[in-house]
Amino acid sequence: MFSGASAELLRKSLRRSWLFITWIPVVYTFNEHVCYIGKIEGSSMRPTFNPAVNSSDYVLLWKWNIRDPENLNYNDVVLLKSPMNPQKVFAKRIKGVQGDVIMTRYPYPREKCTVPTSHLWVEGDNIHSIDSNTFGPISTGLVVGKATRIIYPFSRWGEIPEGGRECRLSRLSEYA
């Protein structure tokens, strides 16, 4: 049916296809549970991300064991599912971890908030951000990944700069 050369070519093609197919679950698992490249859009984290209007930054997202509260620290930038609409993903900076007392901003209904166990207080670096001041502390279960570096545009390659305000009552009293 096939000549010797055609049969050999078919075997090589099938071998390559099989090799490609067997790596799909490995790549999928790696992207879902270890590491991923995420795109940051919008102005809520400006000037840390997207300093120019109509620009987008790409970041390396660390996902391994990310929902453990021990791996989420003050000033880490995280991507999280919106508590109001789980189809949306926000980029925010952690400003309080479980047990911290936070000095809130408008529109939060109280002046202070104690962050519950396994929750975070997150804020955007831009004061006009929709964040915990709008929806309150968020569960660590909503965290998708922790941004570790800006990888694109190449001119901004590197560590994620510090930003945002200090809002932990324990730290604010040190400054007073």
Query: Which pLDDT score, from 0 to 100, does residue 175 have?
Result: 62
Identify the active-site residue in 63, 92, 95, 146. Answer: 92
Give the pair of three-digit tokens for residue 43. Answer: 């102005």
Element of type H or E holding 170: helix 169-175
Q: Annotated catalytic, 44?
A: yes
Comparing 6 with 37, which gets the higher pLDDT?
37
Query: Is 12 in a helix, a strand, or coil?
Result: helix
**pLDDT tier at 176, thresholds 50, 70, 90:** low
Question: DSSP of 63-96, one letter per residue?
Answer: -TTTTSGGG--TT-EEEEE-SS-TT-EEEEEEEE
Comparing 99 with 171, which gets the higher pLDDT?
99
Query: Which pLDDT score, from 0 to 100, does residue 131 have?
Result: 97
Query: Which pLDDT score, from 0 to 100, does residue 67 have?
Result: 78
Q: Is domain 34-175 classified as CATH 2.10.109.10? A: yes
Q: Where are the domains of the chain?
A: 1-33, 34-175
Element of type H or E holding 18: helix 4-33
Identify the active-site residue in 3, 13, 17, 44. Answer: 44
Query: Which pLDDT score, from 0 to 100, does residue 1 have?
Result: 58
Average pLDDT over every residue of 22-41: 90
Strand segments (E) across 86-142: 89-97, 101-103, 112-114, 119-123, 138-139
Q: Annotated catalytic, 92?
A: yes
Q: Is residue 70 over pLDDT 90? A: no
CA distance 150 to 132: 24
**pLDDT tier at 31, thresholds 50, 70, 90:** confident
